[in-house]
Amino acid sequence: MPTIAAGRDAQALHRAATPDFFGWLEHTRAAAGCSRPIRLTGTLTAVEPGTGRVVEQRHTDELPDRTLYKACGNRRAAQCPDCAWVYAGDAFQVVRCGLTGGKTVPTTVARHPVVFVTFTAPSFGPVHHRHIPRHTCADRRCCDCRPAPCHARRNAGTCPHGQPAACFVRHDADDPQLGRPLCLDCYDHDHQAVWNAGELWRRTKQAIERHLTALCRQRGIRLVRVVTDSGKVRRVPPVRVSHGKVAEMQRRGAVHFHVLLRLDGVDPHDRHALVPPLAGITADDLDAAVHAAARQITVTTPAHPDRPQGWPIAWGEQVDVRRIGTGDGDVTDGKVAAYLAKYATKSTEATGHCSTRLTPDTVDAYADPEGDHLARLIDACWRLGRPNHTRSSNTATPTGGRQGDLDSKPNPYAGLRRWAHMLGYGGHFLTKARRYSITFGLLRDIRATYRRAEDDTADTITVGALTFIGSGWLTNGDALLANTAAAQHRERQRVGREELAHEAWLTGAAA
Ligand SMILES: [Zn+2]
Ligand SMILES: [Zn+2]
Ligand SMILES: [Zn+2]
Ligand SMILES: [Zn+2]
């Protein structure tokens, strides 16, 4: 709106005309790109690290705006593009170091067998989708190939609710119908909500390791004796798997996972050391173990008043396993890292839903058992996650305990209500095994050290006793000035990284 823009420009001019404008720009630099920086007030103390001697003490009242600005740190691009950009950069490095080594990770990891796996959710009912059977385009960035008809079935008739069971539309890539059920009443929203809240990944990883252990036994590869932290001697398989994983919310609102799985060895002298696996276990074996585990893992969730027999939770039929390498058609480490980093900054955006945590006061704006696809999914989460006391009294406890015991137990479905705004998914969007790579904390430390080294007072550390006083820039004009300064700096890096992520997509990492 012109009035807002005019007001903002006037604010910006006013700021730029202040005597200490450049001091202000410098002061806000660390948070400059942030959409809603945190404003802090209090005392900053510069301390000499060796002696603890206080070199200088300042109150934020002496600083421009009498405030310290700190970037919000939100990882979601939809919330704060700049902080998400920093986060994605860290995610890229974390993932990549696990593939190539670097920082504190030995470069020998580059020789470990690695696969890149996509685990999908099963079907909860037919949805409108877009599929291109064969690409004839030269460059997929400007792909204009014709998609196949959505659900082409002659004489398919109608479902029990009178909806056509076929769809002959060749959907455009931005068709809002994509991911929406052919019939809302046939679709099993409850099942999908429970599936999103499931814990399949943890069990799947255990199953993969079990398969590898069995394989070692078949091939006569002996277990390794290691000494645990508590001094006990244990015999463990000579291979283990470490992973980096990102969750992606599909348009239909089901979560799927892109996972890097790396095979590591075990050093009998140092349990924590990162060493290459035995030559006898290969990427083929890892591939086979992944497929076997994905097929095998089926869980039935606990009884629920709305479905006493619980829900079956298993992976979808499509499990896509790719090698990381340099050959044709392979995805490279940089591409995979860029791909995972990109998804690490997303959340439910692809579904069209975006809200903060729901409360009894706000849920009605989003949940509706008779509403559209998203409203029904959120309703399913909210309803299935209702508190324990509404359980029907005839629910048997698995352990045969008394009813009183049952009520005092945590409700296994409570998370669905807590994570209704995430359509039931309560996990992190990027996770990794501790052993997989460096930590985000290390990268932040390196950045802080670097920034400190840029200062004159590099030989001191700053300790703050600070209080939160608000978030956001003081005016839209301030936001414009600070963001513009930061944007110029970012743009150069941005181009390179997005190119890589795009290439990963083209190579079919996401197919
Ligand atoms: Zn931010
Ligand atoms: Zn369709
Ligand atoms: Zn194409
Ligand atoms: Zn129907």
- Tell me the C-alpha distance between 477 and 485, whole Å: 13
Report how far ligand 1's centroid is from the alpha carbon of 197 (Å): 28
Per-residue model confidence (pLDDT) at position 493 = 64
Report how far ligand 1's centroid is from the alpha carbon of 433 (Å): 27
- Nearest residue to 503 (alpha-carbon basis) of 363, 333, 367, 388: 333
Considering every ligand atom, which ligand is closest to the CA of 134? 3
Q: Please state the rounded mean pLDDT for residues 315-342.
A: 79
Which residues are within 5 Å of ligand 1 (an ion), measured at CB? 34, 71-72, 80, 83
Report how far ligand 1's centroid is from the alpha carbon of 73 (Å): 5
Per-residue model confidence (pLDDT) at position 58 = 85
- Over 80: is that where the pLDDT of 11 sits? yes
> What are the structure tokens assigned to 381, written together?
């989460």
Half-sphere exposure (CA, 13 Å, Cβ side) for 99?
Answer: 26
- Over 70: is that where the pLDDT of 507 sits? no
Report how far ligand 4's centroid is from the alpha carbon of 162 (Å): 6
Q: Please state the rounded mean pLDDT for residues 45-49.
A: 82
Considering every ligand atom, which ligand is closest to the CA of 69? 1
- At 476-491, the pLDDT tens digits run 999 998 888 888 777 7
Report how far ligand 3's centroid is from the alpha carbon of 287 (Å): 28
Considering every ligand atom, which ligand is closest to the CA of 79? 1
Q: Which residues of 323-343 are buried (b: 16+ CB within 10 A; e: fewer)?
A: bbeeeeeebbbbbbbbbbbbb
Q: Please state the rounded mean pLDDT for residues 27-53.
A: 86
208: confidence class by pLDDT, cuts 50, 70, 90: very high
Considering every ligand atom, which ligand is closest to the CA of 32? 1
Lowest pLDDT segment from 92-101, 218-227, 500-509: 500-509
Report how far ligand 1's centroid is from the alpha carbon of 38 (Å): 8
Report how far ligand 4's centroid is from the alpha carbon of 164 (Å): 8
pTM, two decimal places: 0.82
Give the SS3 label for residue 342: helix
Per-residue model confidence (pLDDT) at position 394 = 43
- Nearest residue to 57 (alpha-carbon basis) of 42, 39, 38: 42
Per-residue model confidence (pLDDT) at position 424 = 95
406: confidence class by pLDDT, cuts 50, 70, 90: very low
Percent of the chain with pLDDT strictly greater than 70: 88
Report how far ligand 4's centroid is from the alpha carbon of 165 (Å): 8
Report how far ligand 1's centroid is from the alpha carbon of 139 (Å): 35
509: confidence class by pLDDT, cuts 50, 70, 90: very low
Percent of the chain with pLDDT strictly greater than 90: 39
Half-sphere exposure (CA, 13 Å, Cβ side) for 239?
Answer: 29
Considering every ligand atom, which ligand is closest to the CA of 136? 3
